[in-house]
Chains A and B, each alone.
Chain A
């Protein structure tokens, strides 16, 4: 293998960009507390007051479990599309991908396509079936005709693993970022994020979470667009002029638009592509959003709007990164000790922020900082809600109480679960402050792609899937994804300190997904139990419901 360590490092950087953890891992060595930024804090306070007002309003509309988990199923496709985009585009999309474009050029653009391409696939293969079969969690679908207790427990366990790792990664990133942008202490930042998240979710449930995500998506789109328009105006809105000047100053020169090392090695590239594509399709907080719309029609529209917004924003980010090559990269003000080409003040992930300052002054910088904070809040709120529903709906209501729990009891459990998850996130966030948490995102996506996705897709498409097969596939997928991530560079080298990783790739998906599918297939085929026959028989009705929506959970009447 040529240059394995460099490739592994690049791929690691790419994977870690999936969440704010990139900011965390980068920022850990670099974050120095900045002076308190009043513009940013002022605008952020406005955002917090607005969202708290919405939470107050949402609380009066959150009476039933359906309200809490899915906003009563009454969100429109357009609203949900914005909210999905808000859930999906983390602070790392804005900061990490701009920085990646700034340093690596077209490699970052190629990476963004991999990040985008999951959406059409989710639409074609999953969106309408998710809506027609699911109610509150994706475990509703996997356990539809299989053993409720066992299959739900498994789905809840892997959901919670995904949610917890993603949540902690976000928290650590949030603490570092807020320290940098707002000049607040790491600990204070964490408590603030955790407390706001608990308030949004416990009082406002899915209604408040959805609106926080919608507002954040609008702020992100607006902020990004303003920065890119102001930046492009410096080049007469000519892409040719921008690219010519960027190439003339960039260290890559004319190679800025030529593929570099990111995808030079096909196995890393394919595994990363699979992990991004099917990991997205197995993230519980993303899947949950499909149950908030009225019907399959709106579910499809959600993806249409969400993917359009994500595609637009990625192109905005690419242009921002390119413009920053000249506007930030040639301005000594943004380098430590005024050395152009030296260390960027605040670390590589601050490129987008410096660009905002350069083209729009302190006001735009303040706005973009507030956007980054809002982005973190929206993502952690969505995660906490997904985790809470796995605990209260799947484990408490369906597995422990076997469907006999009263709605008010279930609601109470879900609120305690949210507070519990919030506390866990803050405590673990404090514990992991000095650690490289990039592996947590690799793990979250790996588990989502290898444990959640295979069982979910097989349960919808394959008549032959039985409880034993689902359990074998799900647990083996989980085990192999976790094992491979532990043996990969991000844990074996970065956390345990060994010189060389045992598993040379960063994303386990290419290896752990086949394990899950194969196990589910073989065990189901060999399953000769009477239960298995009944489960195969039940596929017929499930199939009709998946295709037509007859019997699907409907929007609650208000």
Chain B
């Protein structure tokens, strides 16, 4: 792989744009996962009574069970959201950038 292709891609403002957009999205999603998960771990450690609360009268379901199920679902939905956007919007932009770099090199 010639280094000049890499240099051309690096100088393409679209590349900077792609990296910026994807990077922001990735850190945003990761932050949600970290904050929710470690927030939950902290709640279990410091406020176990809150986690043991039964929010619905007549039901044994606790906040802990709901929070657990919520995390399984939401974290998976976040992966779905990321894969859709990365495989759609970001990959399309990526293709353009790569094609332009090869075109320029001809």
Q: Mark B85-104, 1 if CB is under 8 A from A, else 0.
A: 01100010010011001000
If A109-B68, A547-B15 touch, whether A266 touches B45 (CB-CB below 8 Å) is: yes
Interface string of A245-275 (1 = CB under 8 A from B): 0010000001101110001111001100100
Besides A114-B37, A543-B10, 20 other CB < 8 A contacts?
A: A106-B68, A120-B33, A121-B34, A125-B30, A257-B52, A258-B52, A258-B62, A266-B42, A266-B45, A269-B41, A273-B38, A300-B83, A301-B87, A307-B75, A311-B76, A544-B9, A547-B18, A550-B1, A550-B6, A551-B5
What are 24 inter-chain pairs, A to B, with CB distance below 8 A? Answer: A109-B65, A117-B33, A119-B79, A120-B79, A121-B30, A121-B34, A123-B82, A240-B59, A255-B52, A257-B64, A257-B65, A258-B48, A258-B62, A266-B42, A269-B44, A270-B41, A297-B86, A297-B91, A301-B83, A303-B79, A541-B6, A547-B19, A550-B5, A550-B101
Q: Which residues of B contact A (CB under 8 A)?
A: 1, 3, 5-7, 9-10, 15, 18-19, 22, 26, 29-30, 33-34, 37-38, 40-42, 44-46, 48, 51-52, 54, 59-62, 64-65, 68-69, 71-73, 75-76, 78-80, 82-83, 86-87, 91, 94, 97-98, 101
Chain A residue with Cβ nearest B59: A240
Could you say which residues of chain A place their CB within 8 Å of the CB of B94? Answer: 547-549
**B45 with A300: CB separation less than 8 A:** no
CB pair B45–A540 under 8 Å, yes or no, is no
Say yes or no for A498: interface residue by CB 8 A criterion: no
- CB atoms of B60 and A247 under 8 A apart: yes
Cross-chain contact of A259 among B22, B30, B64 (Cβ < 8 A): B64
Give bound CA distance, A264 to B94, whole Å: 46
Tell me which residues across on chain A come within 8 A of B19, comparing CB atoms. Answer: 547
A contact residues around B30 at 8 Å (CB) = 120-121, 124-125
Complex contacts, A119 vs chain B, CB 8 Å? 75, 79
Chain A residue numbers with a CB within 8 Å of B62 are 106, 257-258
Chain A residue nearest in CB terms to B48 = A259
The residue on B at minimum CB distance from A301 is: B83
CA distance A540 to B11 in the complex (A): 11
Question: Do A125 and B15 form a contact, CB below 8 Å, given A120-B79, A307-B79?
Answer: no
B101 in contact with A110 (CB, 8 Å): no
Contacts of A109 in B (CB 8 A): 64-65, 68
User: In angstroms, how far is the closest chain B Cβ from the Cβ of A340?
Assistant: 22
Contacts of B6 in A (CB 8 A): 540-541, 544-545, 550-551
In whole angstroms, how far apart are the Cα atoms of A421 and B72 in the complex?
36
Residues of chain A within 8 A (CB-CB) of B9 are 544, 548, 550
Q: How far does the alpha carbon of A121 sit from the alpha carbon of B37 in the complex, in Å? A: 11
Interface assignment of A5: CB less than 8 Å from any CB of chain B: no
Query: Which residues from B are CB-within-8-Å of A270?
Result: 38, 41
9 tightest A-B contacts by CB?
A258-B52, A551-B1, A266-B45, A257-B62, A541-B6, A243-B60, A544-B6, A311-B72, A263-B44
CA distance A547 to B10 in the complex (A): 10
Q: With an 8 A cutoff between CB atoms, is A113 at the interface?
A: yes
- Smallest distance from the beta carbon of A477 to chain B beta carbons, Å? 21
Is there an interface contact between B45 and A265, defined as CB atoms closer than 8 Å?
A: yes
Instruction: Kindly list chain B residues whose C-beta atoms are within 8 Å of the C-beta of A240.
Output: 59-61
Q: Which residue of chain B has the shortest Cβ distance to A109 in the bound complex?
A: B68
A190-230, CB < 8 A from B:
none
Smallest Cβ distance from A289 to chain B, in angstroms? 16
A116 at the interface (CB under 8 A from B): yes
CB-CB under 8 A from B44, the residues of chain A are 110, 259, 263-264, 269
Chain B residues within 8 Å of A244, by CB: 60
With A258-B52, A550-B6 in contact, is A314–B72 under 8 Å at CB? yes
- Is B41 a contact of A266 with CB atoms below 8 Å? yes
The minimal Cβ–Cβ distance linking B31 to chain A, given in whole angstroms, is 10
Chain B residues in 8 Å Cβ range of A114: 37, 41
* Contact across chains for A124 and B29 when beta carbons are under 8 A apart: yes
CA A264 to CA B91, docked complex, whole Å: 44
Measured CA separation A551–B3 after assembly (Å)? 10
Q: A116-B72, A304-B80 are in contact. Are A266 and B46 (CB under 8 A)?
A: yes
Which chain A residue lies CB-closest to B75? A120
* B1 contacts across to A, CB distance below 8 A: 545, 550-551
Question: Using Cβ atoms and an 8 Å threshold, which residues of chain A touch B54?
Answer: 257
B83 touches A304 (CB 8 A): yes
Which of B52, B76, B82 lies in contact with A300, CB distance below 8 A?
B82
A548–B80 alpha-carbon span in the complex (Å): 21
Measured between beta carbons, the chain B residues less than 8 angstroms from A543 are 10
